[in-house]
Amino acid sequence: MVPLASVSNTLQFPDWQCAVEDALHETDWTKRGECIRNARAAIFSRLKAKLKRPPGTLERIALNDAIHILQVLRSSKL
């Protein structure tokens, strides 16, 4: 497994993508819920911070994809 510090260097939007990566890599089902909540908070914080100047198209697509990924993680035991 790649250390998360290395992953954050390769992410395009590390401010919120690191939290999503944490949720994706969490194998303990009892801790995954908290990781998902943290990732959702990071995503919505990013959207809220950019209400006056919304994220660019690429980041908006990535944010939408991340929201969908978190929904799948929350509804299944992958």
Q: Tens digits of per-residue pLDDT, 28-61? A: 988 999 999 999 999 999 988 877 766 678 888 8
Q: Hey, what are 34's tokens?
A: 């908290």
Q: Are 14 and 8 within 8 A, CB to CB? A: yes
pLDDT tier at 2 (50, 70, 90 boundaries)? Answer: very low
> What pLDDT shows up at residue 43?
96
Question: What whole-number distance in Å separates Cα of residue 47 and Cα of residue 67?
Answer: 12
What is the pLDDT, as a whole number, of residue 25? 94
User: Cβ distance 24 to 73 under 8 Å?
Assistant: yes
Q: Which two tokens stand for residue 4?
A: 């998360």
Task: Report pLDDT for 47.
Answer: 86
